[in-house]
Structure 1
Amino acid sequence: MRVFIAGATGAIGSKLVPLLLADGHEVFGTTTRPERVAAIDATGAHGLVMDGLDAASVRAAVLEARPDVIVHELTALGGGVSDLKHFDRTFATTNELRTRATDHLLAAGAEVGDVRFIAQSYAGWPYERTGGAVKTEEDPLDPTPTDASKESLAAIRYVEEAATGAGGLALRYGALYGPGQALGRGGEMVTMLEAGKLPLVGSGTGITSFCHTDDAASATAAAVLRGAPGVYNVVDDEPAPVSEWLPALAEAIGAKPPMHVPAWVAKPLIGEHGVSMMTKARGASNAKAKRELGWTPTWPSWREGFRTGLG
Structure 2
Amino acid sequence: MMRVFVAGATGAIGQQLVPRLVAAGHEVHGMTRSEAKHAMLHELGAVPVVADALDRDRVAEAVGRAQPEVIVHELTAIGEPDMRHFDRAFAHTNRLRTEGTDHLLSAGRAVGVRRFVAQSVTMPYARTGGPVKTEEDPLDPSPAREMRRSVAAIRHLEEAVLGADWTEGIVLRYGGFYGPGTSMAPGEQMPELIRKRKFPLVGDGGGVWSFVHVADAAEATVAAIERGRRGVYNVVDDDPAPVAEWLPTMAQALGARRPVHVPRLLGRLFAGEAGVVMMTELRGASNAKAKRELGWRPAHPSWRQGLFA
TM-score normalized with structure 1 length: 0.96
How far apart, in 2, do the equivalents of 1:114 and 1:187 lie? 37
Deviation at 1:114, TM superposition (A): 3.6
Shift in CA distance, 4/114, structure 1 to aligned 2, threshold 3 Å: closer
How far apart, in 1, do the equivalents of 2:45 and 2:210 lie? 33
User: Residues 16-64 of structure 1: CA distance to partner in whole angstroms, max 9, x if unpaired?
Assistant: 0110011000000011111211121123210110100000110111011
- 1:165 corresponds to: 163
Count of residue pairs the alignment pairs up: 305
How far apart, in 1, do the equivalents of 2:202 and 2:113 lie? 48
- 1:148 corresponds to: 146
Deviation at 1:187, TM superposition (A): 1.2
- 2:119 corresponds to: 120
Q: Which amino acid aligns with 2:236?
A: V
Deviation at 1:225, TM superposition (A): 0.9
- 1:77 corresponds to: 78
How far apart, in 1, do the equivalents of 2:45 and 2:208 lie? 40
How far apart, in 2, do the equivalents of 1:190 and 1:218 lie? 25
Q: Which amino acid aligns with 1:176?
A: F
How far apart, in 2, do the equivalents of 1:168 and 1:182 lie? 29
Partner SS, residue 11 of structure 2: coil
How far apart, in 1, do the equivalents of 2:32 and 2:251 lie? 35
Q: Is the 8 A contact 2:212 2:237 kept in 1?
A: yes
How far apart, in 2, do the equivalents of 1:5 and 1:304 lie? 30
Q: Is the 8 A contact 2:185 2:308 kept in 1?
A: no
Q: Is the 8 A contact 2:184 2:308 kept in 1?
A: no
Partner SS, residue 257 of structure 1: coil
Q: Structure 1: where are the runs of 5+ without partners?
A: none
Q: Which amino acid aligns with 2:223?
A: A
Q: Which amino acid aligns with 1:104?
A: H
- 1:3 corresponds to: 4
- 2:249 corresponds to: 248
How far apart, in 2, do the equivalents of 1:156 and 1:172 lie? 10
Partner SS, residue 295 of structure 1: coil
Partner SS, residue 13 of structure 1: helix
- 2:265 corresponds to: 264
How far apart, in 1, do the equivalents of 2:127 and 2:63 lie? 39
How far apart, in 2, do the equivalents of 1:129 and 1:279 lie? 10
- 1:195 corresponds to: 196
How far apart, in 2, do the equivalents of 1:35 and 1:143 lie? 41
Partner SS, residue 180 of structure 1: coil
Q: Is the 8 A contact 2:162 2:169 kept in 1?
A: yes
- 1:177 corresponds to: 178
Partner SS, residue 225 of structure 1: helix
1:284 pairs with 2:282? no
- 2:109 corresponds to: 110
How far apart, in 2, do the equivalents of 1:181 and 1:111 lie? 34
Aligned identity (percent) is 58
Q: Which amino acid aligns with 1:8?
A: A
Partner SS, residue 126 of structure 2: coil
What is the aligned counterpart of 1:136 among 134, 137, 141?
Answer: 134
Deviates more, 1:45-54 or 1:250-259: 250-259
How far apart, in 1, do the equivalents of 2:181 and 2:47 lie? 23
Q: Which amino acid aligns with 1:174?
A: G
Ranges of 4+ aligned residues in structure 1 off by more than 3 Å: none
1:220 pairs with 2:221? yes
How far apart, in 1, do the equivalents of 2:107 and 2:99 lie? 12
How far apart, in 2, do the equivalents of 1:277 and 1:42 lie? 38
Q: Which amino acid aligns with 2:132?
A: V
Deviation at 1:307, TM superposition (A): 5.1
How far apart, in 2, do the equivalents of 1:220 and 1:194 lie? 32
Partner SS, residue 83 of structure 2: coil
How far apart, in 2, do the equivalents of 1:53 and 1:185 lie? 32
- 1:91 corresponds to: 90
How far apart, in 2, do the equivalents of 1:280 and 1:96 lie? 26
Q: Which amino acid aligns with 1:20?
A: L
Deviation at 1:105, TM superposition (A): 0.4
1:306 pairs with 2:307? yes
**RMSD between aligned residues:** 1.0
How far apart, in 2, do the equivalents of 1:186 and 1:42 lie? 25
How far apart, in 2, do the equivalents of 1:195 and 1:251 lie? 12
Shift in CA distance, 128/92, structure 1 to aligned 2, threshold 3 Å: same
How far apart, in 2, do the equivalents of 1:300 and 1:177 lie? 13
How far apart, in 2, do the equivalents of 1:180 and 1:103 lie? 27
Partner SS, residue 256 of structure 1: coil
Deviation at 1:256, TM superposition (A): 1.2
